[in-house]
Every structure is written in C-alpha cells, then in structure tokens.
Amino acid sequence: MANDDPPDGGQRSADRPLKLGFIGLGIMGRPMARNLLRAGYPLTVWNRSKPGIDALVAEGAREAASAGAAAGQADVVITMVGDSPDVEQVALGPGGIIETAREGLTYIDMSTISPETTRRVAARLREAGIEMLDAPVSGGEQGAVNGTLSIMAGGDEAVFESCRPVLDVLGEKIVYCGPSGSGQVVKLCNQIAVALNNLGVCEAITLCRKAGVDPERMLEAVSAGAGNSWQLQNLAPKMLAADWRPGFKVAHQAKDLRHALNSAHESGASLPGTVITHLLFGRLTEEGLGGEGTQALLKALERLAGGSPPSGAA
Ligand code: NAP
C-alpha cells in the first residue's frame, strides 16, 4: 500500500539511520535499492510502473504514491531513471521531488543525463533548499547487484562527503569529480571509452568471421593479451551466443553518446569515433532494437560487412 505519512520533523539526526527514498526501479535501480535495504536503511520506493515497486515492497521497502512522496519521507532521495526529461519530470514536475521535499533534503541523481540539465535542475532545487548531487555509475547490472559500481560524483563537496556512507553501499570506487555536472561529464567520458571499445570488439569478431577463423579461438587468444577489456570479457561471449538480452540497452547508449556529442559541441572537443558509434547505435534504435543489449552493435557491423545478422534470442 502507498505510504504518504508526513515527514518526521525534518532534521537529520545522528542517532537514527538516514531515511532514503529511491525512484526508478529498472535493471540498475532495483538491485541498487535492494542493497540499500539490506544495508539497513529505511527505504521508501516509487517507480513509474508497478512491478518494480512490488519487488522491493516484498523485501521490506515502503511504497510511495509519487516521486514527491518518496522524497517527502526521506533525508536522501536517489533517482535511477532514464534520461534528462525523466529527471526533470521526477525532480521538478507535478508530484515531483520539489513539491513535497523539505529543506535539508539531499537529492542524488544516479541516472546518466546531460550535464547541462543537471546544472539547471540543481540550481532550481537549491532555490528550494534542496542540494543535488550528480552521481552516475559504471559497472553494469552485475556491478549494481554486487554493490561494486564505479561512482563519479559532482556537486557540493561537503554534501558529497555527507552522502559517502550511502554511496559506499552501492559502489567500490567513488570519485568526487567537481562542481555540479562534473560527475555527468566524467560518465560521458566513460561511455565514449565503453562504446568505442565495444565497436572494436564487434569489428574484431566481424573480421574473424569474414576471414573464416573461429571467433572463439580469437577471443581465447586476445583476452590473454593487450586487447583484453571489460567489453571483450562481458559482451563478446553474448555476441557469439547471439544473446541480445539487455544489461545495458542500445537506446541508453545512443542517448549517452548524444549527450557526449552535445558536450563536445559546447566545449569545442572533436570526437570522431564517438560520431561513428553514435550513428550506429542511433540506427539500431531507429530499427526498433533500442531495448536490446549493447552487444547488438554487432548486428550493425554485420550489415555493413554485407552479411546477415546472426540469429538468436531477441
Ligand atoms: P531501465 O531498465 O530502463 O530502468 C529505468 C527505470 O526508470 C524504469 O524502472 C522506469 O520505469 C523508470 N523511469 C524512467 N523514466 C521515468 C519517469 N519519467 N518517471 C518515473 N520513472 C521513470 O534502465 P537502467 O538500465 O536501469 O538504466 C537507468 C539509468 O542508468 C540510465 O540513465 C542508464 O543510462 C544508466 N546506466 C545503466 C547501466 C546498465 O548497465 N543498465 C549502467 C550504468 C548506467 P518503468 O519500469 O515504468 O519503465
């Protein structure tokens, strides 16, 4: 049942655990919220659709009726939603965090969104007495499940330090990157490295198949040498098994590279590799494959190489 009790007086107290709110219970948010619950934090959750909520309530979380209600119960509220418009809606929209949160609330957005939107939302919330950190993550679904994410944070440093115990539950490597938006900039840098490396893995598999060599042998050899990487270890086996189920969705990677290119445009950076990978992920999304995992980039390469895409699980 939804819980809309009023907040219990406002100020944080040293003799009780922080009350947390968590909004966005998808592939990443659900295991992250679960880890906070298991660490002993009282947790109120909200999600756009019901299944995500039910799973956490069954494990002891309280259900809120809206994003604002989740924030109204909390000392710290976390979002793990999709893109910039989702964060704007949840933070500033009708029934959003700004409507019901009390002064002294800290808001941590862990989604990957545009640095510019982050700075704008943070400024608006600060006028309402709410401090916002951007703290996007890397490490994938497995990192979320294991609490071993890499977390890159932006915002006020003292606020960041006050939230470190919460972030410690979710991540292994937690880096303060600078003022508001800095965490998102670093996350976009991470996504450039991830996407271009993914492209390299796809090109290696494509050449191997075209040249008539067993790609399993190629992976065995390359993974022991300088070509080894997270993408090779985690995505290449899925590519060879034609397993397109998402950990990290094609549409999210297209979105992240779009934000990286917008930031590059604003700052005058030249990112030719990002242009190419953004084009390929964008094409896959337009073809209706946005819900597949980013290992589906191989399909785009297979098409360019003139072969039919490998068949298998959708
Ligand atoms: P996901 O599975 O699509 O989950 C997103 C969740 O947010 C869903 O539960 C969705 O609700 C909810 N949501 C989206 N828009 C909303 C809105 N406007 N209002 C309320 N709830 C909303 O995505 P994910 O893979 O967990 O990724 C979440 C974020 O983390 C993204 O920014 C992504 O780029 C980033 N990220 C993902 C990974 C990864 O490996 N998956 C790794 C690092 C970072 P519904 O259930 O109703 O759809």
Closest-CA residue, ligand 1 atom 3, reads: 26
Identify the pLDDT of residue 16: 77
Looking at residue 309, its pLDDT comes to: 52
Residue 68's pLDDT band (boundaries 50, 70, 90)?
A: very high
* Ligand 1 site, residue 89, Cβ cutoff 6 A: yes
Mean pLDDT of the chain: 93
Mean pLDDT along residues 88-101: 95
What distance in Å separates the CA atoms of residue 67 and residue 65, rounded to the nearest whole number?
A: 7
- Averaged pLDDT for residues 263-270: 96
Closest CA to 187 of 139, 119, 250: 139
Query: What is the number of other CB atoms lying within 10 angstroms of the CB of residue 68?
Result: 25
Q: What one-character DSSP code corresponds to residue 76?
A: E
**What number is the average pLDDT over the span 224-236?**
97
Q: Is 234 in the pocket of ligand 1 (CB under 6 A)?
A: no
The whole-number pLDDT of residue 305 equals 80
Domains of the chain in start order, with CATH, are 7-180 (3.40.50.720), 186-304 (1.10.1040.10)
**For ligand 1, mutation pick of 23, 27, 109, 137 (most atoms within 8 Å of CB):** 27
Q: Which of 187, 238, 255, 299 is catalytic?
A: 187
Range of weakest confidence among 9-18, 45-54, 76-85: 9-18
> Is the full-model pTM beyond 0.85?
yes
pLDDT category at 308 given cuts 50, 70, 90 is low
Which pLDDT band holds residue 15 (cuts at 50, 70, 90)? Answer: low
pLDDT(256) > 50: yes
- Which protein residue has the closest C-alpha to ligand 1 atom 13? 81
Longest dimension (CA), the chain: 69
Q: What is the pLDDT of residue 102?
A: 80
Residue 150 scores a pLDDT above 60: yes
- For the segment 133-149, the average pLDDT, to the nearest whole number, is 97
Catalytic site residue 238? no
Give, using CA atoms, the residue closest to atom 29 of ligand 1. Answer: 111
Q: Quick check: 2 pLDDT over 50?
A: no
Q: What percentage of the chain exceeds 90 in pLDDT?
A: 88
251 versus 9: which is more confidently predicted? Answer: 251
Cβ 147 under 6 angstroms from ligand 1 = no
Interval between CA 114 and ligand 1 midpoint (Å): 15
- Tell me the three state secondary structure of residue 137: strand
Mean of the pLDDT values across residues 37-59?
Answer: 95
Question: Does 1 have pLDDT greater than 50?
Answer: no
What is the reported pLDDT for 9?
Answer: 40
**Does the C-beta of 27 come closer than 6 Å to ligand 1?**
yes
22 close to ligand 1 (CB < 6 Angstrom) = no
At residue 175, the pLDDT reads: 98
For 181-225, how does the pLDDT look when each residue is reduced to its tens digit (9 = 90+)?
999 999 999 999 999 999 999 999 999 999 999 999 999 999 999
Task: Please state, in angstroms and rounded to a whole number, the distance separating the CA atoms of residues 1 and 281.
Answer: 40
**Average pLDDT for 154-179:** 98
